[in-house]
Amino acid sequence: MTKLLSVDNLTVEFAGPSGPVRVVDGISFSLEKGETLGIVGESGSGKSVTSLSIMRLLPKGKAAIAQGDIRLQGESLVRLSEKEMRNVRGKRIAMIFQEPMTALNPVFKVGSQIAEAIRRHARISRKAARKEAIELLGDVGISAPDQVANAYPHQLSGGMRQRVMIAIAMACNPEILIADEPTTALDVTIQAQILDLMRKLQRERGTAIILITHDLGVVAETCDKVSVMYAGQIVEQGDVGRLFREPKHPYTMGLLKSIPQFSGKEKQLYSIAGQVPHPADYPAGCRFADRCPFKMDVCVTDEPGAVDFGNGHRCKCHLYGRETNAGVD
Ligand code: SF4
Report DSSP letters for 57-88, one per residue. Answer: -SPTTTEEEEEEEEEETTEESTTS-HHHHHHH
Separation of 300 CA from ligand 1 center, angstroms? 9
Tell whether 163 is covered by a domain: yes
Quickly count: other Cβ atoms within 10 Å of residue 263's Cβ.
7
**Contact at 8 Å (CB) between 45 and 230?**
yes
Average pLDDT over residues 111-117: 93
**55 domain-assigned:** no
117 lines ligand 1 (CB under 6 A): no
**Coil, helix or strand at residue 279:** helix
Q: Ligand 1 within 6 A of 288 CB?
A: yes
Q: What is the pLDDT averaged over residues 68-72?
A: 97
Query: Residue 250 falls within a domain, yes or no?
Result: no
Strand partners, 37: 210, 225
pLDDT for 177: 94
List of residues 6+ apart from 8 with CB closer than 8 A: 28, 68, 69, 70, 71, 329
Instruction: Look at the chain and report how many structural domains it folds into.
Output: 1
What is the C-alpha to C-alpha distance for residues 181 and 96, in angstroms, rounded to an integer? 8
Q: What is the pLDDT of residues 21-47, one digit of tens each?
A: 999 999 999 999 999 999 999 988 999
User: Which of 320, 323, 317 is CA-nearest to residue 236?
Assistant: 317
Q: Cα(115) to centroid of ligand 1, in Å? A: 51
Contacts of 196 (CB under 8 A, 6+ apart): none
Whether 149 maps to a domain, the answer reads yes
Query: Which residues is 14 bridged to in the sheet?
Result: 21, 63
Q: What is the pLDDT of residues 183-200, one digit of tens each?
A: 877 788 888 888 888 888
Residue 169 counted as domain residue: yes
7 C-alpha vs ligand 1 centroid, how far in Å?
25
Burial code of 5-33, b = ≥16 C-beta within 10 A, e = fewer? bbbbebbbbbeeeeeebbbbbbbbbbbee
CA-to-CA distance for 48 and 54, rounded, in angstroms? 10
Predicted structure pTM score: 0.91
Q: Is 113 exposed, middle or buried (0-12, 13-18, 19+ CB in 10 A)?
A: buried
Residue 268's pLDDT is what? 64
15 located within any domain: no
What domain range is 136 assigned to?
Answer: 100-173
pLDDT at 323: 45
The verdict on residue 219 lying in a domain is: no
Q: How confident is the model at residue 262 (pLDDT cuts 50, 70, 90)?
A: low
Whether residue 250 has its Cβ less than 6 Å from ligand 1: yes
Q: What is d(CA 129, CA 135) in angstroms, rounded to the nearest whole number?
A: 10
Strands of the chain (E only): list them: 5-16, 19-31, 36-40, 63-72, 75-76, 93-96, 176-180, 208-213, 225-230, 233-239, 261-263, 266-268, 306-308, 314-316
Separation between Cα atoms, residue 148 and residue 29, nearest integer Å: 39
CA of residue 297 to ligand 1 center, whole Å: 10
Q: What is the mean pLDDT of the chain?
A: 90
Q: Is residue 116 part of a domain?
A: yes
